[in-house]
Amino acid sequence: MALGPWSSDVLKPLGYEFPMLVKRGYHIHYRPLGGAFLRRPVVDVENGYLLIPMERGVRLTTGIEFAERDAPPTPVQIARTKPIARKLFPIDMEVDGEPWMGSRPCFADSLPIIGRSPRHENLWLDFGHGHIGFTTGPISGRLLADMMTGHTPVIDPAPYEARRFLMV
């Protein structure tokens, strides 16, 4: 089970209710103005945004928003940071019609669930990586593969057990 923010939809009928939250993030692409270009990402920590050079243009991405997974988008962070970003780097027209939004599942302890499900022997779990799922996905998959095949796990799997959230 590696369905990200939709994992709960499948697990709830099986009797699992994990305290998963959803962090949503937004980004949008702009054309650079007047031939300007970025060679590397630029972070404005004070104002909470990041400009990243991409093939589609310059991506403006902002912080996280805690919301229900299926709630309507509220890209207010993009709207607030766009004028500030324009002062730092000359962005022009939007390439995208509207900001992209992604939902990232997370737990309060910032650790994903990785391992065998507590009540279903042949059900394996791997979700809750928050906004670093693409980064931690390879090691998470390796850990899960080690456990499923009986190999010595590459790292200690105990911190990632689903049991930490279940009342036993």
pLDDT of amino acid 167? 64
Contact assessment for residue 95 and residue 31, using Cβ atoms and an 8 Å cutoff: yes
Structure tokens at 28: 């949008």
Q: Measured between alpha carbons, how far apart are the two ends of the chain, in Å? A: 22
pLDDT of amino acid 63? 87
Structure tokens at 52: 């990243």
pLDDT of amino acid 50? 95
Query: Alpha-carbon dihedral of residues 76, 81, 86, 88, nearest 10 degrees?
Result: -170
Average pLDDT by stretches of 10, the chain with 168 residues? 94 94 94 92 94 95 91 93 94 91 93 95 94 90 96 96 82
CA dist 141 and 32 (Å) reads: 38
Mean of the per-residue pLDDT values for the chain?
A: 93
pLDDT of amino acid 131? 84
pTM over 0.75: yes
